[in-house]
Chains A and B, each alone.
Chain A
Amino acid sequence: MEKRAADLDDSLIRKFKSGEEEAFSEILGRYKNLVLNIAYRFLRDRTEAEDVAQDVFLKIYRSARTYKPKAKLSTWVYKITANVCLNRLRSEKNAAKSVSYDRQDPADTGSPLFVGSSPGRFSPSEELERNERLTVIHDALQCLPAKQRLALVLKRYEGLSYREIAEILGCSPAAVDSLLQRANGKLRKFLEPYFADRDASRKGRKS
Chain B
Amino acid sequence: MIGKCRRIQKRIPALLDAELPPKMTSAIKRHLDICPDCRRYLAATSQAWALLAESEKIAPRNDFDALFWGKAREFSIPLKSRPGGIWARIPIPAIAAAGFLLGIAGGFFLGKVAFIDKQAPATQVISPPINGIFPYLDTFADFPKDSVGGAYIAVAPQSGGSARRGGDKW
Enumerate chain A interface residues (CB-CB to B < 8 A).
24-25, 28-29, 32-33, 36-37, 40-41, 46, 49-50, 53-54, 57-58, 61-62, 112, 114-117, 130, 133-134, 136-138, 140-141, 155-157, 161-162, 177, 180-181, 184, 187-188, 191-192, 195
* B47 x A195 contact (CB < 8 A): yes
* A58 x B75 contact (CB < 8 A): yes
Give the complex CA separation of A36 and B44 in angstroms: 29
Q: Give chain B residues whose Cβ lies under 8 Å from the Cβ of A46.
A: 58
Interface SS of B by simple majority = helix
Q: A40-B58, A57-B68 are in contact. List 4 more A-B contacts (CB 8 A).
A: A24-B72, A50-B61, A53-B64, A180-B17
| A-contact 0/1 string along B3-28, CB 8 Å cutoff | 00000001011100101000000000
Known: A58-B68, A181-B10. A53 touches B51 (CB 8 A): no
Chain B interface, number of residues (Cβ within 8 angstroms): 30
* A161 x B19 contact (CB < 8 A): yes
Give the complex CA separation of A172 and B66 in angstroms: 39
Kindly identify, within residues 36 to 95 of chain B, every residue whose CB is under 8 Å from any CB belonging to chain A.
41, 44-45, 47-49, 51-61, 64-65, 67-68, 71-72, 75
Give the complex CA separation of A187 and B13 in angstroms: 12
* B55 x A137 contact (CB < 8 A): yes
B80 to chain A, nearest CB (A): 18
Q: Give chain B residues whose Cβ lies under 8 Å from the Cβ of A141.
A: 52
* B68 x A133 contact (CB < 8 A): no
Known: A32-B60, A50-B64. A134 touches B48 (CB 8 A): no
* A195 x B71 contact (CB < 8 A): no
Give the complex CA separation of A191 and B67 in angstroms: 38
B99 to chain A, nearest CB (A): 24
* B48 x A188 contact (CB < 8 A): yes
Kindly identify, within residues 102 to 161 of chain B, every residue whose CB is under 8 Å from any CB belonging to chain A.
none
Q: Give chain A residues whose Cβ lies under 8 Å from the Cβ of B54.
A: 130, 133-134, 137
A202 to chain B, nearest CB (A): 13
A201 to chain B, nearest CB (A): 15
Give the complex CA separation of A40 and B44 in angstroms: 25
Give the complex CA separation of A130 and B52 in angstroms: 12
Contact of A140 among B17, B52, B58 (CB under 8 A): B52
* A58 x B72 contact (CB < 8 A): yes
Q: Give chain A residues whose Cβ lies under 8 Å from the Cβ of B56.
A: 114-117, 134
Q: Give chain B residues whose Cβ lies under 8 Å from the Cβ of A117.
A: 56
Q: Give chain B residues whose Cβ lies under 8 Å from the Cβ of A130.
A: 54
The 5 closest A-B pairs by CB, nearest first: A115-B58, A184-B13, A116-B56, A137-B55, A191-B48
Give the complex CA separation of A62 and B68 in angstroms: 12
Q: Which residue of B lies closest to A183 (CB)?
A: B13
Known: A36-B58, A114-B56. A162 touches B68 (CB 8 A): no
Q: Give chain B residues whose Cβ lies under 8 Å from the Cβ of A177.
A: 14, 19
Q: Give chain B residues whose Cβ lies under 8 Å from the Cβ of A114.
A: 56
Q: Which residue of B lies closest to A46 (CB)?
A: B58
Give the complex CA separation of A46 and B58 in angstroms: 8
28 A-B residue pairs with Cβ-Cβ distance under 8 Å, sorted by A, are A24-B72, A25-B65, A28-B68, A29-B65, A32-B64, A33-B60, A41-B55, A49-B58, A50-B60, A53-B60, A54-B71, A57-B68, A57-B72, A58-B75, A61-B75, A62-B75, A115-B56, A116-B59, A134-B55, A156-B49, A156-B53, A157-B55, A177-B14, A181-B10, A184-B48, A188-B44, A191-B47, A192-B44
